[in-house]
Amino acid sequence: GENVEQHPSTLSVQEGDSAVIKCTYSDSASNYFPWYKQELGKRPQLIIDIRSNVGEKKDQRIAVTLNKTAKHFSLHITETQPEDSAVYFCAASHTGGFKTIFGAGTRLFVKA
């Protein structure tokens, strides 16, 4: 069946450094790739998403890249801050389906 693999499961960086989280999807029909952030005790919230017609999207310190050939997409956070500490989930879905597949999550720690 469809699956999304996410790495690493835990990531610890120093404040100001960059963080990269990688995901690989199996369903070649996937064309929508959102990233959600879940802070401790809160609900997951969308931080950025990308569709398959573009290879990269940026929003301030956050960027996402997509390689459709390799079925791989990544989240890049630059100049990390303590408030970036959270669990990040990648996901994949496609226009013709009704299912969204999530990765297992990456717990990011940003040390001040």
Q: How far is the CB of 15 from another protein (least distance, A)?
A: 25
In the block, which residue shows the tokens 């802070």?
39
Q: Does 40 bind another protein (CB under 8 A)?
A: no
- Interface residue with another protein, options 25, 36, 73, 88 (CB under 8 A): 36
Number of shown-chain residues binding another protein (CB under 8 A): 27
Q: For residues 29 and 23, what is the distance between their CA atoms, to the nearest angstrom?
A: 16
Candidate list 43, 53, 83, 112; residue touching another protein; CB under 8 A:
43
β-pair type (86-92, 32-38): antiparallel
Count other Cβ atoms within 10 Å, centred on residue 105: 18
User: Smaller CB distance to another protein: residue 65 or 100?
Assistant: 100
Give the sign of the dihedral formed by CA 11, CA 19, CA 105, CA 65: negative
Q: Please give the residue ranges that form the binding site for another protein (CB under 8 A).
A: 4, 6, 9, 31-32, 34, 36, 42-46, 49, 89, 91, 93-95, 97-105
